Amino acid sequence: MSTTYSSNNILNAVAAAAKSLDERKEEVNRLNVFPVPDGDTGTNMSLTIQSVVGNVAGLPIGATAAEVRKAVTTGALMGARGNSGVITSQILRGLCEGSQPFDTFDTESVAAAFAKAVEVAFQAVRKPVEGTILTVLRDAAAAAKNAAEAGLDTPEALDAIVAEAYASVQRTPDLLPVLKEHGVVDAGGFGLAIIFDAFTAALLGRAGTMVDELSFARGAHPKVEIEQVNDWEGSQFRYCNEFLVDSDSLDREEALNFLSTMGDCELCVGEVPKFKVHVHSDHPDKVLAYFLDHGQVSEVFIHNMQIQSAERTEKLAAEEAAERKPLGFVAVAAGEGNAAILKSLGVDVVVSGGQTMNPSTKDLLDAVGSVNADAVIILPNNSNIIMAANSAAELSETPCAVVPTKSVPQAFSALFCIDEDASLQTNVEEMTEAARAVKTGEVTWATRDSKDAAGNPIAEGDVIGIADGSIEAVDATIEGAVLTLLEKMEADEADTCTILAGEGYSDDDLEALVASVEEAFEDLEVDAQRGEQPLYPIIFSVE
């Protein structure tokens, strides 16, 4: 059974690939030791593909395939950053040119697109080096060709391309000595594999990417370990120069010949009237002067690579020297204010999510894995997330447990009773007990006609107050719902009330609400904060 992929499907998959690379760009940056250890390969590739997405987003509805291809190639060229970004732009250009003769996205057109991408990308680099992004591209193209010759359907062909891209990345240390010396794979190649992987997962409608199944720990090659680079490798030149040139007369070959006299890693791609130039050189003034004589120069970026390399080394050293904690914390929350409060209370990673925005087990597992601690506690802060949190804890290689908090205010109280000298289990028990002592109220609007806990009718648009999961108040105003909830939650017997204002709820309204609460409950200590959570203008707790 064949599947038809529309232009919209493909562009959405490109956007998903851009998002995935952006999320993992620091992971790619850490691998960056060739041609210079300046730690920006992931960032540059990410900026390049984001420029593509931005350019495509500006197309009118119903744009033709030719217009889409032009938007992709122009966006890539204009947004290309650094050596890796320029090469990525040429790969995208080649994929577009190779697909031009075909009306459908299938195994045959994919193979042709990859073949052209290899041709265009290798032409852009005067001195191709094995064990780099170019090698990974060539190997992926070979997999595409084999898939076409074997008559594989499109999903199978895309999977084969992704699998070979990752396998090729694993082989890069055997092809490029500097990679093996520092115990890393090629950064650009890995970034390209991430793009292919995320694109395929999005196009085929998968929740996860293949990289989770193709761990570098499996197979013939050892797991990659990141090592600090303390020396200045590769380029003997100091400045990375990149800019756009508008010219009707620029000869690319002559320009490349000139650039080779100025430095290394020289690139001049594009065609009349727009070109992208990249070179490592100690003489940015002379480089710019040459191209100013041939046209107009714009989007000039000049980076001191020695400073970048030193910053990368310092960052890696800081990461390695960071003190490992006995106990770390992952919490789920929506809203910048809530996240900031949680972090101030000791949470290491805040995963964005909450009601209607439940993170997956993988999201939580990844967050746990990023915490530098001997053990980790997850605070799900929503009853719908507890199951995923428990699954993440079971799958985690790091000892992990869940304190089953159902709201952010419960997490606040739980975090106040941490004892780092106690065991993981003891902390979970103490924190769970503290969380259970917190009563939580939430105020929002009814999205449909319903009934409250007593069976009274609720009309769509009414302000409703929810006490620990049960609708206990219906009112015309937010303030009225809060006061009713507080009364039903026996706030007159509580000591403190924490109020979290949601996005869109003004400071003036918050001030007036606090005044009303303090007037109605004289002995209640009120602490109001900006939580900035969506959907719920007010979340509060009493204890």
Q: What is the pLDDT of residues 365-406, one digit of tens each?
A: 999 998 999 999 999 999 889 999 999 999 999 999 999 999
Q: How far is CA 127 from the centre of its chain?
A: 32
- pLDDT at 324 (0 to 100): 81
Share of the chain above pLDDT 90, in %: 51
Phi, psi of 80, rounded to the nearest 5 degrees = -60, 130
User: Which secondary structure element, helix H or strand E, spans residue 254, and what is its range?
Assistant: helix 252-262
d(CA 431, CA 17): 39
Residue carrying structure tokens 């002592």: 437
Residue 204 confidence (pLDDT) above 60? yes
d(CA 5, CA 246): 36
Residue type, 221: H
Cα 529 to Cα 284, 407, 412, distances in angstroms: 51, 15, 12
- pLDDT at 319 (0 to 100): 59
The pair of three-digit structure tokens given for residue 495, joined into one six-digit string: 């000591």
d(CA 193, CA 336): 32
pTM more than 0.75: no
Residue 221 confidence (pLDDT) above 80? no
- pLDDT at 320 (0 to 100): 57
User: Which secondary structure element, helix H or strand E, spans residue 508, and what is its range?
Assistant: helix 507-520
Q: How far is CA 287 from the centre of its chain?
A: 35
- pLDDT at 59 (0 to 100): 86
**Residue among 64, 51, 75 nearest 270 (CA):** 75
Omega before 409 within 30 of 0, i.e. cis: no
Residue type, 98: G
Residue 418 confidence (pLDDT) above 80? yes
Model confidence pLDDT, tens digit, residues 114-172:
999 999 999 888 788 888 899 999 999 999 999 999 999 999 999 999 999 999 999 99
- pLDDT at 225 (0 to 100): 36
Share of the chain above pLDDT 70, in %: 89
Confidence of residue 185 (pLDDT cuts 50, 70, 90): confident
> What domains are defined for the chain?
7-212 (1.25.40.340), 239-308 (3.30.70), 328-436 (3.40.50.510), 439-542 (3.30.1180.20)
User: Could you write out the DSSP letters of every residue in 234-303?
Assistant: S-S--EEEEEEEE-SS--HHHHHHHHHHHEEEEEEEEETTEEEEEEEES-HHHHHHHHHTTSEEEEEEEE
Model confidence pLDDT, tens digit, residues 33-89:
554 444 578 888 998 899 999 988 888 887 888 888 999 998 888 888 777 888 899
Contact 331, 350 (CB under 8 A): yes
- pLDDT at 229 (0 to 100): 34
d(CA 485, CA 391): 34
- pLDDT at 282 (0 to 100): 87
Model confidence pLDDT, tens digit, residues 84-123:
888 899 999 999 999 999 988 999 999 999 999 999 999 8
User: Which secondary structure element, helix H or strand E, spans residue 401, and what is its range?
Assistant: strand 400-402
Task: Report the 10 Å Cβ neighbour count for 360.
Answer: 16
User: What is the b/e burial string over 132-150, where b = at least 16 CB atoms within 10 angstroms of the residue's CB?
Assistant: bbbbbbbbbbbbbbebbee
- pLDDT at 216 (0 to 100): 41
Cβ neighbors of 5 (< 8 A, separation 6 or more) are 104, 105, 154, 203
- pLDDT at 212 (0 to 100): 44
Residue type, 77: L
Cα 190 to Cα 131, 134, 252, 354, distances in angstroms: 11, 11, 29, 32
- pLDDT at 318 (0 to 100): 64
- pLDDT at 489 (0 to 100): 93
Contact 513, 485 (CB under 8 A): no
The pair of three-digit structure tokens given for residue 17, joined into one six-digit string: 């690939």
Higher per-residue confidence, 456 vs 471:
471
Sheet containing strand 296-304, edge to edge, reads 263-271, 274-281, 239-246, 296-304
Model confidence pLDDT, tens digit, residues 295-342:
898 888 887 877 766 666 666 566 555 668 899 999 999 999 999 999
Phi, psi of 285, rounded to the nearest 5 degrees = -65, -45
Model confidence pLDDT, tens digit, residues 482-509:
999 999 999 999 999 999 999 999 999 9
Higher per-residue confidence, 30 vs 417:
417
Cβ burial of 221 (10 Å; 0-12, 13-18, 19+) is: middle
Residue 224 confidence (pLDDT) above 70? no
List the single range of 27-31, 110-114, 136-140, 222-226 with lowest mean pLDDT.
222-226
Mean residue pLDDT across the chain: 86
Confidence of residue 184 (pLDDT cuts 50, 70, 90): confident
- pLDDT at 317 (0 to 100): 62
The secondary structure of residue 448, as a DSSP letter, is S
- pLDDT at 233 (0 to 100): 42
Residue carrying structure tokens 């320009």: 255
**HEC string for 348-362:** CEEEECECCECCCHH
Residue 220 confidence (pLDDT) above 60? no
Contact 278, 83 (CB under 8 A): yes
Contact 166, 197 (CB under 8 A): yes
Cα 330 to Cα 51, 380, 410, 411, distances in angstroms: 33, 8, 14, 11
